[in-house]
């Protein structure tokens, strides 16, 4: 069953562009290095808070990705501007009107 990862974090406003510039590289790294990665969306909540929504084929794929952490430079570049992790949750996707991938 598709697993959805919801990660909320802070990025200082002066580093927001750095985060956005690093995003395509991180997505590319996930596509090649993270089995079961289906897609992601990045939501800016306010000047400092962001929500990353990531879809995985199954929960084990998310677990394996988390075990890898920032194993690649492109992933590290995306993580670098993040000043604080606010929350990290997961759930099973039960209904979707449209798939983002």
At 88, is the pLDDT very low, low, confident or very high (cuts 50, 70, 90)?
very high
Q: How far apart are CA 19 and CA 6, in angstroms?
A: 17
- Is 101 a residue whose pLDDT tops 70? no
**Taking residues 6-33, what's their average pLDDT?**
98
**Taking residues 50-74, what's their average pLDDT?**
97
Q: For the chain, list the domains and their CATH numbers.
A: 3-92 (3.30.70.100)
Q: How far apart are CA 89 and CA 22, in angstroms?
A: 23
**pTM assigned to the model:** 0.92
At 97, is the pLDDT very low, low, confident or very high (cuts 50, 70, 90)?
confident
pLDDT of residue 95: 85
């Amino acid at each position: 069953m598709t697993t959805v990862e919801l990660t909320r974090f802070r990025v200082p406003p002066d580093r927001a562009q750095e985060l956005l510039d690093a995003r395509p590289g991180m997505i590319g790294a996930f596509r090649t290095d993270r089995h079961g990665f289906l897609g992601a969306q990045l939501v800016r909540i306010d000047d400092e808070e962001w929500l990353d929504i990531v879809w995985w084929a199954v929960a084990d794929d998310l677990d394996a990705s988390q075990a890898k952490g920032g194993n690649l430079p492109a992933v590290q570049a995306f993580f670098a501007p993040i000043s604080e992790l606010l929350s990290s949750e997961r759930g099973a996707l039960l209904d979707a009107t449209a798939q983002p991938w």
